[in-house]
Amino acid sequence: MRPLKNEETVLVFTKLKKYIGSNVRALLERSDGLYCFRLHNGRIYYVKEDIMKFAATLPRDNIVSLGVCFGKITKGGKFLLHITALDFLHPYCQNKIWIKESAEQNFMYGNHVYKSGLSRISENTPKYAGVVVLSSKDIPLGFGVAAKATAECRHADPMDIICFHQADIGEYVRNEEALI
């Protein structure tokens, strides 16, 4: 495990800022202690600093994972968020989309959210903003990118895409080998 380089830090914080805005600081400086991001085998981990200091005494080859895997850096130099980051994005997210019960299964199979499945959307959600997708009972199901702004959603056709799928909780079953 090593600290992130400047380029990697910019990639991670830029992606997180897309979803949680200025709340990135609240993610690192929490009331239960300080947290940090570390890179291990191409994956970015979110870990408490106390635990990270204990892990520093272990050989790198013996560490499989530490903390929560937030995502990975691709060979192309992009940062991809994993579904394991959903529990940390949800409390701080600025833009949310709620979907109908009839559209939940469709979303959890990896499909986009259509206007016909949209229950409601946060006010003033801009186009291409990061959004957390919630069920009608406020259960976080995944996250994506808003394909239309809030004002555009009101006048959209039922088969227009409202949210581009990025990750959903169905990935725990579909891609369990790739998440760690």
CA 138 to chain centre: 16
Q: Are residues 20 and 77 in the same domain?
A: yes
Domain residue limits at 48: 2-87
Q: Are residues 100 and 36 in the same domain?
A: no
Q: Are residues 79 and 129 in the same domain?
A: no
Q: Per the domain annotation, does 179 fall within a domain?
A: no
Q: Are residues 11 and 81 in the same domain?
A: yes
Number of structural domains (the chain) is 2
Dump strand ranges (E) for the chain. Answer: 2-3, 29-30, 33-40, 43-48, 68-73, 79-81, 96-99, 113-114, 118-121, 130-134, 140-146, 161-168
Q: pLDDT value at position 180? A: 62
> pLDDT truncated to tens, each residue of the chain (180 aa)?
788 999 999 999 999 999 998 888 888 888 888 888 998 888 999 999 888 888 888 887 888 788 899 999 989 989 999 999 999 999 999 999 999 999 999 999 999 999 999 999 999 999 999 999 999 999 999 999 999 999 998 899 999 999 999 999 988 777 777 666
Q: Which of 72, 87, 102 is the last residue of a domain?
A: 87
The whole model's pTM is what? 0.87
Q: Are residues 111 and 136 in the same domain?
A: yes
Q: Which of 50, 72, 87 is the last residue of a domain?
A: 87
Q: Per the domain annotation, does 118 fall within a domain?
A: yes
Q: Are residues 65 and 108 in the same domain?
A: no
Q: pLDDT value at position 67? A: 87
Look up tokens 């369990």; give the residue. Answer: 176
CATH number of the domain encompassing residue 116: 2.30.130.10
Q: Are residues 83 and 116 in the same domain?
A: no
CATH number of the domain encompassing residue 53: 3.10.450.220
Q: What is the pLDDT of residues 96-149, one digit of tens each?
A: 999 999 999 999 999 999 999 999 999 999 999 999 999 999 999 999 999 999
The Cα–Cα gap between 108 and 93 comes to 20
Q: Are residues 82 and 6 in the same domain?
A: yes
Q: Are residues 122 and 103 in the same domain?
A: yes
